[in-house]
């Protein structure tokens, strides 16, 4: 599974961090950082994170 | 035996999320989603902001459905006009009837309109893509005088977007003394008012609207106190009405949306559930009083819970059916600042405390009920919004309020 975040769309709402904290984090400046190739066991969480993004900036491939 | 079918009435975000969650909960039968708009489900928050500003084409708004709904049947441009729940049948506007085994009510809301006589041309609401595009075309006419009726979320966002587009003459009218004072309370509402005024939005507060001037199209708004505001474009953002007429005659409580139990089930019928802002549900996190919630996250939250309850009933599968207890969250972007809320500030308006910052700049405010934190709202820049998120875990840990 590959995760792609459109950083031009991302506005750091942080909803993905609540849904999938192992994959998405806000750094010390409040900006999004994420794991682009998370373990497939985290798929449910990542799908949830993609759903709750207000900007719909998260795409899952594979 | 014929294929079993779940019908999802409503093809907006709630309808899409319901279909995805039905599959996620293990439903392998047919799913038909019926919606009266011609579009696949799309994201509405940009309508009053980026769409109005001309910065968001439809492709950027459409949701990307999960792969698990590839075989779902979409009947778009078609309204559900009636339902006979006991017979498990819905009727469509083309005269056809579809039988169902399970039904998801996801028909949402429509804008409330003012009951005033006057011309229709020049008067707008913002709920659908079509609405936003029609309003944009008029806002961008040179010299347009814009009157926004209602200083809630949509009204404040539209006013800010209009200023951003270069509209010189923007006035917001509301019978309440401050913008968004209902959900936010006086402290933040006053700060919001000042921020809007500094950027050129005018407010006429403490007075309602009694009518419109104009023959062919609107030329003015008549206020309750007799004053007349000249206007070329009027935006009515005065709340919304639940789309439930099609459910009449089934003995349901439709007083304000569709009343559900704590598992989103409707009318004591385990094969009917409601999702999204049309659902009036009790939140086990708070006082148990059923309320509709028009926040962006609610379609997804309700769909997940409702789908589990419905699929478990229809298939007999075991499911973890806890009571629905979402943590509400909303945000609003106006001018260059953001409002970010977690919890239910509306339940703590009597005890509002500044947690961090200053109402003139970035500020973080806490709302309390019986000295317990029930909501936080940030207003200002990015840092304030991030600060609000820090309180989310604390809000989630609070024990339930009792009625």
A15 and chain B in contact, CB less than 8 A: yes
Residue B402's pLDDT is what?
67
Residue B3's pLDDT is what?
81
CB B210 within 8 A of CB B116: yes
Q: Per the CB < 8 Å rule, is A30 touching B383?
A: yes
Among the listed residues B47, B232, B59, B40, the one whose alpha carbon sits nearest the alpha carbon of residue B136? B47
Residue B56's pLDDT is what?
87
Residue B400's pLDDT is what?
79
The pLDDT of B182-192, averaged and rounded, is 96
B276-328: pLDDT as tens digits: 999 999 999 988 899 999 999 999 999 999 999 999 999 998 877 889 999 99
For residue A12, the chain B residues in CB contact (below 8 A) are 382, 385-386
Tell me the C-alpha distance between B110 and B126, whole Å: 9
Task: Specify the DSSP class assigned to residue B2.
Answer: P
Among the listed residues B71, B106, B99, B69, the one whose alpha carbon sits nearest the alpha carbon of residue B84? B99
Q: What angle do CA B19, B247, B89 make, to 5 degrees?
A: 65
Tell me the C-alpha distance between B256 and B178, whole Å: 25
Tell me the C-alpha distance between B92 and B96, whole Å: 5
Q: Per the CB < 8 Å rule, is B297 touching A26?
A: no
Residue B336's pLDDT is what?
93
CB B363 within 8 A of CB B357: yes
Residue B1's pLDDT is what?
54
Other residues' Cβ atoms within 10 Å of the Cβ of residue B310: 29
Supply B96's token pair: 């056809």
pLDDT band with cut points at 50, 70 and 90 for residue B387: confident
Tell me the C-alpha distance between B310 and B189, whole Å: 41
Largest CA distance in chain B: 68
B38-76: pLDDT as tens digits: 999 999 999 999 999 999 888 889 999 999 999 999 999
B96 and chain A in contact, CB less than 8 A: no
Q: Is the pLDDT of residue B403 over 70?
A: no
> Within the 41-60 window of chain A, which residues sit less than 8 Å (CB to CB) from chain B?
47, 50-52, 54, 56, 59
pTM: 0.95
State the best of B382, B387, B394 to mutate against chain A, taking most chain A CBs within 10 Å.
B382
Supply B152's token pair: 């809630």
Number of A/B CB contacts below 8 angstroms equals 33
Residue B37's pLDDT is what?
95
pLDDT band with cut points at 50, 70 and 90 for residue B175: very high
Q: By mean pLDDT, which of B2-6, B35-39, B179-183, B221-225 is the weakest? A: B2-6
B255-274: pLDDT as tens digits: 999 999 999 999 999 999 99
State the best of A4, A54, A59 to mutate against chain B, taking most chain B CBs within 10 Å.
A54
Cα distances (angstroms) measured from residue B74 to each of A33, B35, B37, B43, B129: 36, 8, 11, 17, 19
Tell me the C-alpha distance between B282 and B289, whole Å: 5
Regions of chain A where pLDDT drops below 50: none
Which residue of B43, B66, B331 is in closest CB contact with A47? B66
Per-residue burial over B271-292, b if 16 or more Cβ lie within 10 Å, else e, is bbbbbbbbbbbbbebbeeebbb
The pLDDT of B6-24, averaged and rounded, is 98
Residue B276's pLDDT is what?
98
pLDDT band with cut points at 50, 70 and 90 for residue B401: confident
Residue with the larger pLDDT of the pair B341 and B116: B341
Residue B161's pLDDT is what?
97
Percent of chain B, pLDDT > 90? 91
Q: Is the pLDDT of residue B171 over 60?
A: yes
């Amino acid at each position: 599974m590959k995760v792609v975040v459109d950083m031009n769309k991302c506005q750091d709402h942080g909803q993905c961090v609540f849904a999938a904290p192992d994959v998405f984090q806000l750094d010390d400046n409040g900006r999004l950082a994420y794991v682009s190739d998370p373990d497939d066991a985290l798929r449910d969480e990542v799908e949830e994170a993609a759903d709750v993004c207000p900007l719909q900036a998260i795409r899952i491939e594979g | 035996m014929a294929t079993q079918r779940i019908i999802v009435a409503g093809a907006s975000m709630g309808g899409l999320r319901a279909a995805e969650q039905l599959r996620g909960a293990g439903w392998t039968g047919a799913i038909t989603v019926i919606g009266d708009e011609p579009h696949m489900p799309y994201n509405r928050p940009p309508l009053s902001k980026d769409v109005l500003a001309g910065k968001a084409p439809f492709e950027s708004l459409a949701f990307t459905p999960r792969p698990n709904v590839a075989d779902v049947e979409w009947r778009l441009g078609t309204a559900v006009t009636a339902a006979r729940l006991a017979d498990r049948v819905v009727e469509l506007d083309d005269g056809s009837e579809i039988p169902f085994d399970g039904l998801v009510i996801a028909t949402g809301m429509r804008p409330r309109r003012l009951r005033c006589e006057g011309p229709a041309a020049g008067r707008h609401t913002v709920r659908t893509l079509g609405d936003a595009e029609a309003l944009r075309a008029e806002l961008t006419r040179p010299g347009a005088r814009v009157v926004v009726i209602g200083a809630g979320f949509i009204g404040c966002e539209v006013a800010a977007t209009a200023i951003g587009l270069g509209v010189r003459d923007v006035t917001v009218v509301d019978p309440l003394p401050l913008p968004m004072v209902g959900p936010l309370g006086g402290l933040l509402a006053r700060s919001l008012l000042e921020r809007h005024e500094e950027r050129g939005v005018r407010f006429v507060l403490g007075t309602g609207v009694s009518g419109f001037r104009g023959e062919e199209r609107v030329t003015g708004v008549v206020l309750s106190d007799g004053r007349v505001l000249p206007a070329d474009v009027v935006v009515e953002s005065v709340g919304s009405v639940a789309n439930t007429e099609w459910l009449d005659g089934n003995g349901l409580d439709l007083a304000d949306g569709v009343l559900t139990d704590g598992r989103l089930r409707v009318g004591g019928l385990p094969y009917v559930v409601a999702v999204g802002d049309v659902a009036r549900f009790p939140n086990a996190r708070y006082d148990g009083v059923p309320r509709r919630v028009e926040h962006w996250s609610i379609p997804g939250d309700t769909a997940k819970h409702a789908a589990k309850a419905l699929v478990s009933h229809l298939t007999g599968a075991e499911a973890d059916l806890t009571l629905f207890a979402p943590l509400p969250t909303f945000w609003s972007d106006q001018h260059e600042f953001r409002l970010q809320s977690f919890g239910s500030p509306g339940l703590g308006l009597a005890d509002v405390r500044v947690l961090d910052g200053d109402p003139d700049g970035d500020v973080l405010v806490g709302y309390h009920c019986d000295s317990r934190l029930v909501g936080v709202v940030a207003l200002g820049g990015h840092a304030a919004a991030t600060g609000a998120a820090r309180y989310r875990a604390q809000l989630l840990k609070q024990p339930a309020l009792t009625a």
